[in-house]
Structure 1
Amino acid sequence: MQSFKYIAEVVPHFKCTADAGSYKPYGSGHINDTFFLKNLAEGSDYLLQRINHHIFTNVEKLTENMQKVTEHLKLKVISNGGDPMTEVMTLIPTNSGKYFYQDSDGNYWRMFFFLGNTKSYDLVKLPKQAYEGGKAFGKFQAMLSDIPAGEMFEVIPDFHNIQHRLRQLNDAISKDMAGRVSSVKPELDIVRKYAEPMQYFQQPDKVNALPKRVIHNDTKFNNVLLNQNDEAQCVIDLETVMDGYVAYDFGDAIRTIINTSTEDEADLSKIQLNMPLFDAYVQGYLREASKFLTDAEVRSLMKGALLLPYMQAVRFLTDHINGDVYFKTKFEGHNLQRARAQFQLLKMLDANAEAMNATILNEMAGYKTAHY
């Protein structure tokens, strides 16, 4: 009932015809609370989202980022002969003209049109799905590639800076607020083993040839909506769109697509690499991204594929040590289970990195030949 109290207050402040009483929780996100609302009139239904302002501390700037990105994407879609209302998320304004509302208890809310007749997957099963995901994120990056670096607000500073994440882990270890450090020594050993090579993107001599671009920064596969034919339709969850290296997006997508099990798999033997899905994702991604990627960026992609599961494991482990204060959990030890699963995925990727990088380079060579 607490949710309905807020929803009943918030909905009238948006320019919509949503039925507040029809609300139901929607999605599987770790950070924000999302609700589906029926439309009382004809037209699209709605998604109402309570923004976690403890994580996204500057909601106004966050919203400006989303407005800038969605407007840019809509213009690109129109110029390509597409439908901006189905291929790009649409923010609903409030009666005051803003795109967020703060309720009487200080919570921040935003609303979107719900994109019906679409689906998303937490676990990818078919090469076609992986290919469409690659195409979606490659096209997303390509459409934003003409926005100069520096124009977007950094909504979460150092979001993919592994040195920052390691400092957060060390701080959690020193405080040991939940008394859990002594029980995670094997996981901390893995952190230390990989720490040095994972700092590639923070070494100026390594990345001086890599441009910063506007990227998604959270390319889990379930952030792509597919139509009923499993064809990519829309990239969603745009709150972390800001500057970064394209390899970050590539790495996070690979992390969530080619794992044969879930992000929090308890049985580590089930975590293997689905290489046909990797091949398909690379094909779809480079079909779009090859139009703008530099050679240095292509060579960095596999670095991102190794970094992102490592970084996510570090973040899960840090939250576990801190007492589970950041990510939503379903049971005690959930974050530790997530961390162990990501470390296992990293080991599998590391063992196959050379062959996977060869696949990327060979595929890119084919697109270069086609383009020129």
Structure 2
Amino acid sequence: MVEKLEAIANQFCINATIKSISTLQSGHINDTYLVTTNTSDSFVLQKLNSYVFKDVIGLIDNKIKVAQLISKNIESKHLNILSTQFYKAKNGNFYVKGDDNEYWNLQNYIPNAITFDKVPNTEVVFEAGKLYGSFIALTNNATALEIKETLKDFHSVPFRLEQFKEALENASQARKEEAQKEIDFVLEHQLEMSKIDALKNANTFPIRITHNDTKLSNILFDKCNKGLAVIDLDTVMPEIVHFDFGDSVRSICSNAEEDNDDFESLEIQLDYYKAYCKGYAKSTKKLLSKTEIKYLPLGVKTIIYIMGLRFLTDFLNNDKYYKTKYATHNLVRAKNQFALVNSVIKNNSEITAITNNAFGLEDIS
């Protein structure tokens, strides 16, 4: 295996001798490796999952264009953050196609950086908000780049509801009975959770270049816990900001992991939400419209609902998509996310007030 990895890596223009290749424990979709050399430079070699990503060439093209744009804008604005950089292969492409028809790309490894799987404090949350907000600001002039939608309907509630209803129709009676409360929850809230899509389809919001996987572990921090770089550009696509914003809040501001089964205690931590909003607004308040800001809280609620819906759908489908550790794992995940939706509903007034305050808006109800 090492020989194969070295053969792939040596097809890129790195001007160095490879010393070692080891597995990087990051991400659940692609295979990722750390390549060390006889120089001070190290690299990240990645095999892209062509089962999940049907348009791998489009995905790579998106990553290259966005990374280059961000790097250019960081330099022109003299910002103290970094950008992912990708390397060309000797064939002139930014990828190598292996014997197994899988695609590989190579990018820079940023040394002395740290990541967090769990939030340690509000300062880190603020930095996360500021950096994900910076991503939106730094890609704001990307309209001419022809960024592709490589995962169609990724955050579409109507599409996810279609998948859910098909799964429900074909599910076993036992699974339907076990998940009846969650099925009822989905149907009860489907109209409200489809509102963001309706507004998007009515051209209420501008389409921007968004990250679409805005979890905490996709940010690198320096040793002083300052935001250093946004990584993992596999899902960059044209989209509205509400799903990026909402997914960060879902993963960063929840008080528990998404498979925690203590549903009664699950909640959005408002001190973290306040910190995230402050950081995000610092980077985006001059960019986002009042209408975009008004619907950020609904974006939070909607993306959490989508994740719960996806887990529930997979449970009804006998767990075909997500890896599970026990029979009801996906159902527990769905219950967890719907409990989080209820926390957002319960705290909606305060969440709205925090959002308005962070963006310096008195009343946008």
Same fold by TM-score greater than 0.5: yes
1:206 Cα deviation after fit: 8.3
2:23 equivalent in structure 1: 24
Task: Provide, for residues 122-165 of structure 1, a one-character-per-residue CA deviation record: whole Å limited to 9, x for no partner.
Answer: 22131100100010011110111122288210010011111001
Residue aligning to 2:335: 340
| In structure 2, distance between residues paired with 1:349 and 1:136 | 23
> Which secondary structure state, in structure 2, belongs to the residue aligned with residue 234 of structure 1?
strand
Paired residue secondary structure (1:196): helix
Offset of residue 174 of structure 1: 2.4
Deviations 1:15-53 (A, max 9, x none): 2347475312421x232222223x222123222222111
Task: Say which of 247, 263, 279 aligns to 1:268.
Answer: 263
Measure how far apart 1:243 and its partner are.
1.1
Deviations 1:266-304 (A, max 9, x none): 222342222111111111100110021101011010011
Contact conserved, 1:11 with 1:18, CA < 8 A, in 2?
no
> Alignment partner of 2:359: what SS?
helix
User: Which residue does 2:192 correspond to in 1?
Assistant: 197
Aligned CA distance change for structure 1 residues 273 and 314 (closer, same or farther; 3 Å): same
Question: In the aligned structure 2, how far is the partner of 1:24 from the partner of 1:30?
Answer: 13
Q: CA deviation at 1:82?
A: 3.8
SS in 1 for 2:167: helix
Deviates more, 1:341-350 or 1:5-14: 5-14
Query: Structure 1 residue 360 and structure 2 residue 358: aligned?
Result: no
Do structure 1's residue 76 and structure 2's residue 96 form an aligned pair? no
Match of 1:146 among 136, 141, 144: 141
Of 275, 299, 302, which residue of structure 1 is paired with 2:297? 302
CA separation of 1:271 and 1:282: change in aligned 2, threshold 3 A: same
2:241 corresponds, among 214, 238, 246, to: 246
Q: CA deviation at 1:177?
A: 8.0
The gaps in structure 1 that reach 5 residues or longer are 368-372
Q: Which runs of 5+ in 2 are unaligned?
A: none
Mark the CA change 1:89 to 1:206 in structure 2 (over 3 Å): closer, same or farther.
closer
**Partner Cα separation in structure 1 for residue 332 and residue 88 of structure 2:** 40
Asked if the contact 1:178–1:322 (Cα under 8 Å) also holds between the matched residues in 2, the reply is no
Give the 3-state SS of the residue equivalent to 1:46 in structure 2.
strand
Going from structure 1 to structure 2, the CA distance change for 1:268 and 1:204 (only over 3 Å counts) comes to closer
Instruction: Give the number of aligned pairs.
Output: 362
1:344 CA displacement: 1.2
> Structure 1 pair 180/97, CA: closer, same or farther in 2 (3 Å)?
farther
Deviation at 1:106, TM superposition (A): 1.8
1:60 aligns with one of 38, 46, 57: 57
Partner of 1:156: 151
Report the equivalent of 2:88.
93
- Contact 2:20–2:37, Cα closer than 8 Å, also in 1: no
Query: How far apart are the structure 1 equivalents of 2:222 and 2:241?
Result: 25
Which residue identity does 2:103 align to in structure 1?
Answer: Y
In structure 2, C-alpha distance between the alignment counterparts of 1:178 and 1:118, rounded to whole Å: 49
Q: Percent identity?
A: 29
Separation in 2 of the partners of 1:109 and 1:328? 24
Q: Which runs of 4+ in 1 moved over 6 A?
A: none
Decide whether the 8 Å contact of 1:18 with 1:46 is kept in 2. no
1:281-296 paired onto structure 2 within 5 Å: 281-296=276-291
TM-score normalised to structure 1 length: 0.90
Check the 8 A contact 1:91/1:113 in 2, yes or no: yes
- For residues 298 and 190 of structure 1, the distance between their equivalents in structure 2, rounded to whole angstroms, comes to 27
Distance in 2 separating the partners of 1:18 and 1:79? 33
1:365 CA drift (Å): 1.8
Distance in 1 (CA, whole Å) between partners of 2:222 and 2:335 is: 33
Q: For the Cα contact (< 8 Å) 1:31–1:327, is it kept in 2?
A: no
User: Aligned residue for 1:370?
Assistant: none
Residue matched to 1:234: 229
> Quick check: 167-176 or 17-26, which moved more?
17-26
User: What is the one-letter code of the residue matched to 1:142?
Assistant: A
